[in-house]
Amino acid sequence: MNTRVVVTGIGMITPLGLDTPSTWEGLIAGKSGVDYITSFDPQGFETKIAAEVKNFDPANYLDRKEARRMDRFIQFAAVASLEAVKQANLKIDPTNSERIGVMIASGIGGIQTLSQQFGVLHEKGPSRVSPFLVPMMLGDMASGQVSMILGAKGPSFSTISSCCSGADAVGEAFELIRRGEVEAVIAGGTEAAICPIGIAGFNACQALSRRNDEPQKASRPFDAQRDGFVMGEGAAVLVLESVDHALKRGAEPLAELTGYGASSDAYHITQPAPEGEGGARAMRLALKKASVRAEDVGYINAHGTSTPLNDKYETMAIKSAFGEEAYKIPISSTKSMTGHLLGAGGALEAAICALAIKTSTIPPTINLEYPDSECDLDYTPCNARLQKVNVAMSNSLGFGGHNTSLILQAWR
């Protein structure tokens, strides 16, 4: 079977807002969600900045007792899922629950709980470790908890592929529906790794920006002065459905998901393959599956992390996949505003592509002040652009050599 798949709902928790409308408004305004870290004292750390989710109280959305038994990454996923399902007006009940799945990824999982409980073990001994440690830290528990909250009894699991995790969750959910195994999937990604061990670990591998004097300007994809990514946190969840299921219940599709391509560099644990060879293959695979020509693509949401090698090689990969058409396509990296949501990034950026299609608006790449001669494409610098988008591509590239591309199209 090759069932068509549509997006009918979107939920977001990001450094720009606690829901989809506020996040989208911030993106179009070119607002930065980066600031000094407040969740812990970063004194002594090389990096003192991050894109934190602000003013989030899970008790405003979830049962207070149950929320205390969830790591922050699970809380984000639960709240984003509730928003997505509400927007889709998807009612899950005994008549359809076994045909609705959940696939919410996390690249890192409950690192905040794990880190905190190591402190308890060290200071108070093994008998004081929380009985909820394991279910709070496991990466699959965002999917598990969401399936319980919503009553979805179809397949429920998590993809883990570093910074491609959320994109792969959306892609694999797409394939489940295409094969006719389910009618709908609540799919996306979530992450909450802004904690001392998370920041220290990424600092140790020289990945994070150290532009501590100008937090809002630290994430600057494709800019000649970029010096590393800014860690973000949050979640994005999409309701994906078969066309028949969506139309039968009167849902209005926001966009259609038509292509998914994944590849591996088989090259290095952190660096992309030279000239972005693996990323280019993922893009070509996605275009082929979607039956889309290079000249049909009207927007690319780039992985665009603001690291020297990623941005250079992703630019080369786009040129390889699109040829001369690469110079005609508006591209942006919304990580310039949200920071890098790690395992949630690909899901967030797929959702952003759906909104770009729906609103005919391309969000900008902010902080692109000093052009890099090796990054010479149209990155939509500084300001959003009103432009019709019929086909959009979302790229994700991850540690371990993972590459994922998704294609979304206007619903017809």
Tokens encoding 90: 């998807």
Tokens encoding 38: 């407040």
Distance, CA of 300 to CA of 325 (rounded, Å): 12
Distance, CA of 119 to CA of 169 (rounded, Å): 32
List the catalytic residue out of 163, 195, 353, 375.
163
340 in catalytic set: yes
Tokens encoding 376: 């010479």
Tokens encoding 362: 């391309």
The three-state (H, E, C) secondary structure of the chain, written as one string: CCCCEEEEEEEEEECCECCHHHHHHHHHCCCCCCEECCCCCCCCCCCCEEECCCCCCHHHCCCHHHHHCCCHHHHHHHHHHHHHHHHHCCCCCCCCHHHEEEEEECCCCCHHHHHHHHHHHHHHCHHHCCCCHHHHHCCCHHHHHHHHHHCCCCCECCCCECECHHHHHHHHHHHHHHCCCCCEEEEEEEECCCCHHHHHHHHHCCCECCCCCCHHHCCCCCECCCCCECEECEEEEEEEEEHHHHHHCCCCCCEEEEEEEEEECCCCCCCCCHHHHHHHHHHHHHHHHHCCCHHHCCEEECCCCCCHHHHHHHHHHHHHHHHHHHHHCCEECCHHHHCECHHHHHHHHHHHHHHHHHHCEECCECCCCCECCCCCCCCCECCCEECCCCEEEEEEEECCCEEEEEEEECCC
**Surface-to-core class of residue 44, CB atoms within 10 Å of its CB (0-12 exposed, 13-18 middle, 19+ buried):** exposed
Tokens encoding 111: 């690192």
Q: Strands 100-105 and 385-386, how do they pair?
A: unpaired
402 in catalytic set: no
Tokens encoding 302: 């780039």
List the catalytic residue out of 164, 195, 245, 340.
340
List the catalytic residue out of 164, 195, 245, 303.
303
> Catalytic residues, which ones?
163, 303, 340
